[in-house]
């Protein structure tokens, strides 16, 4: 016979749970204090905040302890990642207090600073942002006017206009259907909504640095933990796939790829892509492939839409290929179940992409960007030639619209050079904005006319030659 529980027993257990919870909070607070102290020491010693070997040692201890207690190690790992993420946040705050940095290291912060200087009357050569200086296709203007005339300015399906989704599916091919496509507010929101749809609190995403800084922001917002696989100029920015395999753990959920790469211009070959997909399949991981620069390739490129793996999410947009950055029209391609989750997030956040913008994108679906691609390649060649004359190390870009050179001479950090150049009327992106370990790099964008690029490069050379 089962013993009947008494109300006072329930109250006692609840009180015990409360006390245990308070004890956990107290210990978490103690851990936070220790993290702040460690952050101060690291700042004084100029040591990187994140140390994968230290984290792995803690992770191994936690998993061993969890197994001894009979707790699901996956749950323990998620809980640990929340604590590790908070430690990183606190140490970053402490390190900023010990660093003498007047400019936050991102390309967008440089852009905003440059705009402030321009508003005060200073002329700036913008070599920091990847915004094409050529106009969208003429069909876009006509589509916007027609959209107004036809009263096509209402709410749409959160997944986007059916005609646009069908057009993208047809263009991509490979058996893609319209219910496997979502139209998003730029490629940015496609990646963001995919992260929110896939991640649980404390789950891990592996990103390959140097990379677009928004990836880390998306993962942080979703409550996940970013793990970084660093690449080097000595290895020609090729990811070490053995190290990638070693980084995959019980809590890893997603690998995010960005090829052609921003900022390096690196493009993976088919053998490397196949190996990464094999790793993802073996570990049941999702792959998010950011292919926004796929039209700007100066050799061979294979989209992940060509591969049959049902956990692939491919993201692209009209921003770069059609010079439609301000229209904010991107898209994601994935199996229907993932698209439906992304659509629910988009419905909550912004209902849908503006209908006139979708009609504008539809008008550009068959646009051939070959002329734009040729122009960017010529500008990249111009930049590369000048950088070689300056004896700066870099890997010739295989795609995208940037060159990512390593600094030499007495310039100590990218932030130092960025500040000096801004005062001289040139804006470049700091390399550390694409990864903490790239403070000796800058990113130069080819999105300006050749004469402006020449002038900007001459100013960069003048600064580096006297230091």
Q: What are the tens digits of pLDDT across the range 135-192?
A: 999 999 999 999 999 999 999 999 999 999 999 999 999 999 999 999 999 999 999 9
Q: Where are the domains of the chain?
A: 16-98, 107-134+369-465, 138-363
Which fold does the domain 138-363 belong to in CATH? 3.40.640
Contacts of 443 (CB under 8 A, 6+ apart): 107, 128, 263, 402, 403, 404, 428, 429, 430, 431, 433, 434
Checking if the pLDDT of 430 tops 90, the result is yes
Q: What are the tens digits of pLDDT across the range 310-369?
A: 999 999 999 999 999 999 999 999 999 999 999 999 999 999 999 999 999 999 999 999
Q: Contact, 165 vs 171, CB < 8 A?
A: no
Radius of gyration of the chain from Cα atoms? 25
d(CA 6, CA 420): 74
Query: Which of 451, 463, 429, 424 minimizes the C-alpha distance to 122?
Result: 424
For the domain spanning 16-98, the CATH number is 1.20.59.10
Checking if the pLDDT of 45 tops 90, the result is no
Record the pTM.
0.87
What is the residue-wise DSSP string for 22-72? Answer: HHHHHHHHHHHHHHHHHHHHHHHHT--S--HHHHHHHHHHHHHHHHHHT--
Q: 107-134+369-465: which CATH architecture?
A: Alpha-Beta Complex (3.90)
Q: What are the tens digits of pLDDT across the range 63-100?
A: 889 889 998 888 888 888 888 888 888 887 876 665 54
């Amino acid at each position: 016979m089962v013993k009947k529980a008494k109300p006072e027993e329930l109250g006692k257990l609840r009180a015990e749970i409360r006390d245990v919870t308070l004890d956990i909070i107290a210990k978490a607070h103690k851990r936070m204090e220790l993290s702040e102290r460690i952050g101060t020491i690291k700042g004084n010693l100029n040591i990187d905040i994140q140390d994968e070997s230290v984290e792995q040692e803690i992770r191994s201890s936690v998993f061993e302890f969890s197994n001894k207690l009979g707790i699901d190690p996956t749950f323990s790992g998620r809980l640990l990642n929340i604590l590790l993420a908070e430690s990183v946040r606190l140490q970053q705050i402490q390190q900023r207090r010990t660093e003498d940095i007047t400019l936050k290291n991102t390309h967008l912060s440089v852009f905003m600073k440059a705009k402030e200087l321009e508003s005060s009357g200073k002329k700036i050569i913008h070599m920091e942002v990847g915004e094409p200086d050529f106009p969208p296709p003429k069909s876009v203007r006509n589509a916007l006017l027609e959209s107004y005339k036809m009263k096509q300015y209402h709410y749409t399906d959160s997944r986007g206009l059916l005609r646009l989704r069908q057009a993208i599916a047809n263009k991509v091919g490979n058996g893609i259907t319209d219910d496997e496509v979502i139209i998003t507010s730029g490629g940015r929101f496609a990646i963001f909504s995919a992260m929110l749809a896939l991640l649980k609190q404390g789950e891990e995403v592996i990103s390959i640095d140097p990379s677009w800084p928004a990836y880390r922001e998306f993962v942080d917002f979703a409550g996940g933990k970013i793990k970084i696989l660093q690449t080097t100029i000595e290895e020609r920015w090729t990811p070490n796939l053995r190290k990638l395999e070693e980084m995959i753990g019980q809590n890893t959920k997603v690998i995010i790829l960005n090829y052609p790469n921003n900022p390096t211009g690196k493009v993976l070959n088919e053998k490397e892509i196949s190996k990464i997909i094999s790793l993802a399949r073996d570990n049941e991981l999702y792959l998010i492939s950011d292919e926004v620069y796929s039209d700007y390739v100066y050799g061979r490129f294979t989209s992940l839409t060509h591969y049959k793996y049902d956990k692939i999410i491919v993201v692209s947009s009209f921003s770069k290929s059609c010079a439609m950055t301000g229209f904010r029209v991107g898209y994601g391609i994935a199996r229907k179940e993932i698209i439906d989750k992304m659509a629910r997030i988009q419905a909550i956040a912004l209902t849908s992409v503006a209908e006139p913008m979708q009609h504008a994108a539809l008008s550009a679906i068959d646009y051939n960007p070959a002329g734009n691609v040729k122009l960017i390649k010529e500008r990249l060649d111009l930049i590369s030639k000048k950088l070689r004359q300056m004896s700066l190390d870099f890997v010739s870009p295989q795609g995208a619209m940037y060159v990512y050179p390593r600094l030499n001479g007495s310039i100590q950090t990218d932030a130092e050079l960025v500040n000096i150049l801004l005062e001289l009327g040139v804006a470049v992106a700091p390399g550390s904005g694409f990864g903490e370990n790239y403070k000796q790099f800058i990113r130069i964008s080819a999105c300006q006319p050749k004469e402006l690029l020449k002038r900007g490069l001459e100013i960069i050379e003048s600064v580096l030659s006297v230091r």
